[in-house]
Amino acid sequence: MNFVTLSFVLFFLPVLCLGWSIRRFSGLYKWFLIAAGLVFYGCAGPTYLSLLLGIAVLNWGTAAMMPRIPKKAGRTFFISLNVILHILILTYFKYYEFLVLNLISFADIVGWDFSCLFSDALADIVLPVGLSFYTFQGLSYSIDHYRNPELEPRSFMDVLAYVSFFPTILSGPILRENDFFPQLQNNRTADASDFTEGMAYIISGLFKKVVLASYLSEHLVDGVFTTPQDYTSLATLVGVYAYTIQIFCDFSGYTDLAIGVARLMGFRLPPNFKSPYKALDLQEFWHRWHITLSTWLRDYLYIPMGGSRRGNRYFNLFMTMLIGGMWHGSGLTFLIWGALHGMGLAVVHGFKYVMKLIVGQARVPAIISLPAKGLSWVLTIHFVAFLWIFFRAESWESAVQVIERICALDTEGNGFTLMIIIAIACGLVIQWIGPALFRVFTGIQARLPWVLQAVVVALLCGLIMNMGPDGTLPFIYFNF
């Protein structure tokens, strides 16, 4: 169920009204949140409710066993089994088609025909929406209890409420145990700031998604990445910049909506984006982009692999980002995207290490550091934008076509409008002034009576929806 649809509004309004009336009763409110989450996810994919329940059972059961197993070897066995089961689930839904098609291709080379064995199965597999997010969320709970077996395991209903929390179930942010359970147990009363800031997040998310992301997608990005040969080289390049802004506005817009909806339900979610295109290097970019995923990969993959303390830190970085690319999808383009980000991070870490040896603790004069920061920013955002080509392209061949079209320096073909440049500029300006605008807006709203706040919100939401193109596109990360 898309946040930017009438069906979600019809679902959320009664949930919000009833939720505010019972939120002070934590036990009853927990059951209410579970029911809302199951209904919400059932509308998105009713056939996969059993999968959601299975993820909850697996991680609840694994965590519950940890204090009862005295030897670490036994705990390691069960957590390893749990992780393997999750990997198998993700592999089946995300990689089955990729693996089978490659098996068929290999069989054709040696003269075998396996296509008849898999044709029906391939047609029946549909990726359950949100699977990648709630599996990671569930795994973080059971792994934390493996690492700290003295922690008191939560009840199954607590874990189910955690895994099925409807504001985050489709595309995050990926919650941790400490992000959710303390808030679940508290007796909450209505807080004026919940409404003021929650609606501000919703307005922010709507503007990013409906006005900027959807416009860029509809008026340039989709065409450039579908038929790049129809566009001039400059328009193709601008299309890459447009997608760089589109994916930020689309995903951070979804995150703002999720944070706003959760805030109205009485929960504060962790930030997922902090002006990532302000980053001066690739390491800083990943501290600002999809923060809950990057920290998940750091805590549950990079550090267990050895991090910067054991083994080769550069290899560990590379493998972490390669697996991060695989998490997004089975195509070769995602592997390339993850591998190049891993290589880029390794280079940045190595460069910082060398510079620390050379410069030491000496301060670099401002006259030198400012141009250096500017150059670093330009290199970083262009490296990130270049890699978005592989992330967006449907195949390796399509990505190569886009790159070749840019390099052709051809002036024949379709161009782009001034509004595309304005939308790209808005997406960049948001990186610097967005947080300040949010504070100003919430400060003004907080001084108004609730009735006037509601009127302002309704007018802004209506204006934003009218500014958007016909038929708002689904969120990009629903595909992952």
Long-range Cβ contact pairs of 406-414 (< 8 A, separation 24 or more): 406/233, 406/236, 406/237, 406/240, 407/233, 408/233, 409/233, 410/232, 410/233, 411/232, 411/233, 411/234, 412/232, 413/229, 413/230, 413/231, 413/232, 413/235, 414/223, 414/230, 414/231, 414/232, 414/235
Pair 30, 185: CB distance under 8 Å: no
From the list 85, 200, 65, the residue with the least C-alpha distance to 142 is 65
Computed over its alpha carbons, how large is the radius of gyration of the chain?
24
Q: What type of residue is 367?
A: I
Q: How far apart are CA 360 and CA 224, in angstroms?
A: 46
Q: What are phi and psi of 414, to 5 degrees?
A: -70, 150
Q: Which position among 287, 328, 341, 349 bears the catalytic label?
A: 328
Pair 384, 285: CB distance under 8 Å: yes
The residue written with tokens 């700290």 in the block is 148
Instruction: List CB contacts of 279: < 8 A, sequence separation 6 or more.
Output: 285, 287, 288, 289, 377, 380, 381
Q: What are phi and psi of 231, to 5 degrees?
A: -120, 155
CA dihedral 159, 133, 200, 449 (to 10 degrees): -20
Whether 328 sits among the annotated catalytic residues: the reply is yes
Question: Taking the mean position of all CA atoms in its chain, how far away is CA 25?
Answer: 32
Q: How far apart are CA 393 and CA 325, in angstroms?
A: 14
Region of 69 please: left (phi>0), alpha (psi -120 to 50) or beta.
beta
User: Is residue 67 within a helix (H) or strand (E), and if so which, with residue range?
Assistant: none
Q: How far apart are CA 199 and CA 297, in angstroms?
A: 31
- Other beta carbons within 10 angstroms of residue 183's beta carbon come to 17
Q: Which residues are catalytic?
A: 328
